[in-house]
Amino acid sequence: MPKTRQAISSMAIHAILVSYMLIALWPIFLTIINSFKSRKAIFGDPMGLPGVDTFSLKGFEKVLLRSDFEIYFMNSIIVTIATLALVLILGAMAAWALSEYRFKGNKLLGLYLAIGIMIPIRLGSVSLLQLIVNMNLANTLTALVLVYIAQSLPLAIFILSEFMQQIPKDLKEAARCDGVNEYTIFFKVILPLTRPAIATVGVFTLVPVWNDLWFPLILAPSEKTQTITLGVQQFIGQYVTDWNAVLASLTLAIVPILIIYILLSRHLIRGITAGAVK
């Protein structure tokens, strides 16, 4: 009986997870299949797969040949990679300081960072815009990178510090006894051991930055600094929307995220199951 109950419980859990996966992937599936269909087929049979009569690449032609999609794509790549690199290195350093060294105000600083996770940064959009304008950074990718770093750092530090606290102290003390300095311990010992947590932080940072529309719209709306999510808006009109181009743009924007997620999925799962987000 216990084995039967355990098997039923396992099947129920897997059924719930599979159902959730299908619900989460269904919009992505619809976006991709409809991007390869004609406008008439999109509205006539949105659930159907593209066939011989409905297959069309008009959306991709408009996006790649008649718009500045390559500029939007490169802007998103630059902003995302710069933000990700700086968040990971700064977050790891701050997490190492909070988890390893005890100093006056340590807990208060950790609480301050935790509050940063709870309060949405968009509440300060007006003040951020004024600050960016005063710094002469309006309509620059630098403005987006700085805002995204401020947005992502609290969660990154919280996850990495929780993970670093689980690293055995004997390992760090053994390195110090061998005369290894603190910088070498951090870069050669700590960072390699925190790869699962770094992958977790990377995904949690990457997706919101790549998909964000709000800050590109108010901080960098010029033609040369638009990101993918903002560039797609040119195909959406007040009365007419070019759904072929919109869906094609979204499909092209989805591909890099899927590739990165697949590459980091193993480390991401290890980071979550190891208690990095407890």
Q: What is the mean pLDDT of residues 110-138?
A: 86
What element of type H or E holds 276?
A: none
pLDDT of amino acid 277: 43
43 and 92 belong to one structural domain: no
CATH for 213: 1.10.3720.10
Looking at the structure, tell me whether residues 199 and 239 fall in a common domain.
yes
Mean pLDDT of 99-110: 77
Q: What is the per-residue pLDDT for 83?
A: 95
pLDDT at 173 exceeding the cut of 60: yes
Q: Please check whether residues 82 and 202 belong to one and the same domain.
A: yes
Whether 217 is covered by a domain: the verdict is yes
Give residue 276's pLDDT.
41
Q: Is the pLDDT of residue 254 over 50?
A: yes
Residue 61 lies in a domain: no
With cut-offs at 50, 70 and 90, classify the pLDDT of residue 1: low
Considering the domain architecture, whether residues 178 and 91 belong to the same structural domain is answered as yes
* Rounded mean pLDDT, 116-135: 87
Is pLDDT above 50 for 265?
yes
Q: Which of 18, 33, 56 is the last residue of a domain?
A: 56
The answer on 225 and 206 residing in a single domain is yes
- In this structure, the answer to whether residues 88 and 178 fall within a common structural domain is yes
**Same-domain check for residues 158 and 206:** yes
Q: In this structure, are 136 and 97 located in the same domain?
A: yes
**Same domain flag for 125 and 218:** yes
267 has pLDDT over 70: no
pLDDT 10s digits, 13-22: 888 989 998 9
Average pLDDT of span 118-134: 88
What is the pLDDT, as a whole number, of residue 145? 95
CB-facing half-sphere around the CA of 159: CA atoms within 13 A: 29
CA–CA gap between residue 130 and residue 57 (Å, rounded): 43
Range of the domain at 16: 1-56
- Give the mean model confidence (pLDDT) for residues 190-202: 85
Residues 201 and 96 in one domain: yes
Domain finish residue from 37, 56, 75: 56
Least confident of 30-34, 138-142, 179-183: 179-183
Q: Residue 236 forms beta bridges with which residues? A: 241
Residue 13 CA to residue 22 CA, distance in Å, equals 14
Alpha helices in 103-179 (DSSP H): 106-118, 125-134, 141-164, 169-177
pLDDT of residue 88: 93
pLDDT at 147 over 70: yes
* pTM summary value: 0.83
| Domain end position, chosen among 15, 38, 56 | 56
The candidate with the shortest Cα–Cα distance to 204, out of 250, 170, 163, 247, is 163
Domain match, 187 and 114 both: yes
- Same-domain pairing of 212 and 259: yes
What pLDDT does 272 receive?
A: 58
Query: Can you tell me the distance from the alpha carbon of 199 to that of 274, in angstroms, rounded to the nearest whole number?
Result: 12
| pLDDT digit string, tens, across residues 28-77 | 899 889 989 888 888 888 888 888 888 888 888 888 887 888 899 999 99
Q: What's the start-to-end Cα distance of the chain, in Å?
A: 33
User: CA torsion angle for 137, 231, 229, 256 (degrees, to 10)?
Assistant: -100
Residue 278, in any domain of the structure: no
Give me the number of domains the chain comprises: 2
